Amino acid sequence: MTTTDTHRATDAVWRIESPRLIAGLTRIVRDVGVAEDLAQDALVAALEQWPKSGVPDNPGAWLMATAKHRAIDRLRRSQLLERKHEELGRELEVKEMTVPDLEGALDDNVGDDLLRLMFISCHPVLSTEARVALTLRLLGGLTTDEIARAFLVPEPTIAQRIVRAKRTLTDKHVPFEVPRRPDLAVRLSSVLEVVYLIFNEGYSATAGDDWMRPALCEDALRIGRILAELAPREAEVHGLVALMEIQASRSKARVGPSGEPILLFDQNRAHWDQLLIRRGLAALERAESLGGTHGPYTLQAAIAACHGRALTPEETDWLRIVQLYGQLAELMPSPVVELNRAVAVAMASGPAAGLALVDALTEEPSLKAYHLLPSVRGDLLRKIGRLDEARSEFERAASLTRNARERELLLNRARTCAGGS
Amino acid sequence: MRVMVIVKANKDSEAGVMPNEKILTAMGKFNEQLVKAGVMLAGDGLHPSSKGKRVRFSGGKQTVIDGPFAETKELIAGYWLWQVRSMEEAVEWLKRSPFDGGAEVEIRPVFEAEDFGAEFTPELREQEERLRKQIAEKK
């Protein structure tokens, strides 16, 4: 093996083993940074020994045992042992006095540790950027270099971000725990937000020789799938996974040969990945079968599923989409959701009905600079034959977009309207 | 990236002998690990080649050949589709599988959109367009 080969093999083992290892160690040493160092030490030991002795039957258990030994050594060496013991003792005493939760204190379940790791990586004391970097590092098992390349920032920036995040968690004494209700809902939505953010970072990068970015979508999906196994009773987790699977199913179809974006209606549906659509529909079914009111991710997944099921744009179940956008608007009222609903209404009941809804949005301050509002309005006006108005809406949309290709497209539309009047 | 993990056939799989309980349990555990790690996208076992068919294309002629097929080692008995970050990761996962007894399992990367690059010619694109129209007309 060359050095590069060894290096890549190390990365692979790290990717597979590190999340569980760090999670288990964090429970013992109560510090993510120390846990990560210990996990790395154990991995180095493995890479020295495994080539000679062969890979053990259970590599994860071997690594954990090695890391635990080192944890004890380290605690002794730095004379932290006593202090930590005191701390742990105090913590346990306090716990036992206030909440007699022996089961929780003695819990040795790897899955629960991973879930705890997920919650502290996405803890609200951290900035969004820090949450993203830490989640990719600890749960995704990415190297700092891989994260840096994915976000197009220098490696030291990411390394520092991660160091600072770990320090913040230590300084603020963020407990290594799965939050209880009623906090759980808010904390879980923070986790889901981070995962979806990672996904979108990969998904919205359509152009360039940025081959790392589709990988970012895959990383987000993978973390989402792990989360779905860890928290199988949380409907929104399955909702998010469903949404990501279905959106990812279109990735081959949404970029043209020269890197230009292709809109949903113009996509070649033969390029949609049927495996991902099926997986998405299955995840959606799981989310819906858990009952309760559907959360925003489940609703968005249900909308995406309506498109995913339609072999042609004409087969789309617009009435259902209108209904789903209605529910989404109730849950999180937003002019952008309303604009989407208007488009669906136009498809279901004709352009005039859609236009009425869009007209109601023209005074909305938050949409003043949003190019899709005049673009949608122009489209509907054109369909009902008000071509002069349509043209000026397309021109306005063109002046608002920052994307050159989109501007060209909109100006083209404006020109076609001029010809007809 | 995605990889297809191809499990080769052997005498037993070709004879339709089901794996024993011990192997099934171990394989079940391995599959569970793959799912929990978000790696497994799909996977199935295949019936022996005696239940399979082949179609041979030659000089405009198509011949259907019934199984079983002789070259056991070239046949496949099952497959997985995994999502991993590298071939090395796929190898590491495969090392954790419970295969034994001379089994040979092959890992092959699946073509991704970017792999086509310049090979995706205007002719191919036109073909896609036709396919698309056919789908539209089908309804």
Among A48-52, A170-174, A399-403, B119-123, whose mean pLDDT is lowest?
B119-123
**CATH code for residues B2-49+75-138:** 3.30.70.1060
The answer to whether the CB atoms of B93 and A218 lie below 8 A apart is: no
CA A211 to chain centre: 18
Residue A327: what residue type? Q
Determine the pLDDT at residue A99: 34
Residue A409, CA atoms < 13 Å, CB-side half-sphere: 16
CA angle B40, B43, B45 (to 5 degrees): 150
The answer to whether the CB atoms of A311 and B139 lie below 8 A apart is: yes
pLDDT in tens, A39-81: 999 998 888 888 788 777 777 888 999 998 888 887 777 655 5
The 8-class DSSP code of residue B96 comes to T
pLDDT band at B139 (very low <50, low <70, confident <90, very high): very low
The answer to whether the CB atoms of B85 and A252 lie below 8 A apart is: no
Over 50: is that where the pLDDT of A30 sits? yes
> Mean of the pLDDT values across residues B65-72?
88
Residue A132: what residue type? V
Closest listed residue to residue A302, CA positions, set A221, A246, A229: A246
pLDDT in tens, A156-192: 999 999 999 999 999 999 999 999 888 898 999 999 9
Cross-chain CB nearest to A268 (options B42, B92, B128): B128
Q: What is the largest CA-CA distance in chain A?
A: 85
Q: Which residues of A touch B81 (CB under 8 A)?
A: 275
Range with top average pLDDT, A1-15, A141-155, B57-71 = B57-71
Q: How far is CA A194 from CA A139, A240, B8, in A?
A: 12, 11, 41
pLDDT band at B53 (very low <50, low <70, confident <90, very high): very high
Chain A contact for B114 (CB, 8 A cutoff): yes
Separation CA A164–CA A128 (nearest Å): 13
Q: Which residues of A touch B139 (CB under 8 A)?
A: 311-312, 314-315
Residues in chain A: 421
pLDDT in tens, A69-126: 888 887 777 655 566 666 665 555 444 433 333 333 333 467 889 999 999 999 999 9
Question: A25: which residues sit within 8 A by CB, 6+ positions away?
Answer: A34, A35, A38, A39, A64, A67, A68, A71
